[in-house]
Amino acid sequence: MRNNSGTGWLLAAPLSFVLLVFLVAPVAMIVVVSFWGATEWSIYPAFQFDNYAFLFTSDVTYRVFLNTFKYAAITWVCTLLIGFTVAYYLAFHIRTQTWQIALFLLCTIPFLTSNIIRMISWIPFLGRNGLANSALVSWGVIDAPLEWLLFSDFSVILAFVHLYTLFMVVPVFNTMMRIDKSLIEAATDAGATGWQTLRYVIVPLTKPGIMIGTIFVVALVMGDFITVRFMSGSQSSNVGRMIQNDIGLLQYPSASATAVVLLITVLIFIGTLLRLVDIRKEL
């Protein structure tokens, strides 16, 4: 028993060292710096709550966090609808595993390019003189170009959905593929309609995959800043952009405090999801 215990600790030591150096230590440093002070020309070590006091007493903070939650919620709904539909079609309407794999890989082709390239590709399409407005005007659907297609919340959410839908498709599809098909046949034999089978059999059994996809999508959206910057034309903001602005002004303690609050918010959200659904069997 002692030898086995020692071997286990020895095998876990390299990974533990990597996590300690590249995860725990940076986060700890951010927490420490969040209590430091800063002036216009210097940063000095201290233990004070000025950064957090300013953060929680500013109306801008609440508006930015509310905007971040709005982006995360709308993106989550859109990615869930698209991701669940794609995964359902691949899992239950494609009969052969070869075609399932082929079509799934087809869905991943756009994600072989950089996020920046895929995001910026929307700009010439959504612009005032872009392909979308030109087509709508030429078809007589609209009389003048639509201004809200680009540099708006619509374009930000569209880019988010485009960038992160795959993170919802993968876990949902993986969970659906594990569903015993005999359960679907039993529901059909019992007289259940397609909607009833979906609601009472497929959706409950797919909850772990939905939760994993939710964690991926929400965490990525709340930490993203470059998409909001480019797709809103710097007319909107989220927590990531607020941190970026502080870093650009060399206000590292303020940026660290904001990052700590964001991290705690995301961890509370993930902890709540983990209490609702046991996703360990899917990992």
Between CA 63 and CA 53 the distance in angstroms is 16
- Reported as a pLDDT band with limits 50, 70 and 90, residue 5 is low
* Beta bridge mates, 37: 44
| Local structure of residue 15 (DSSP, 8 states) | H
- What are the C-alpha distances in Å from 142 to residues 103, 125, 154, 167? 36, 16, 18, 35
125 against 277, higher pLDDT: 125
**Per-residue model confidence (pLDDT) at position 117:** 86
Per residue in 91-140, pLDDT (tens digit) is 888 878 888 888 888 888 877 888 888 888 888 888 888 888 888 888 88
- Look up the pTM and report it: 0.88
User: Per-residue DSSP letters for 221-277?
Assistant: HHH--HHHHHHTTTS---HHHHHHHHHHTT-HHHHHHHHHHHHHHHHHHHHHHHHHS
**Per-residue model confidence (pLDDT) at position 2:** 53
What the chain holds in terms of domains, given with CATH numbers, is 61-282 (1.10.3720.10)
**Per-residue model confidence (pLDDT) at position 64:** 94
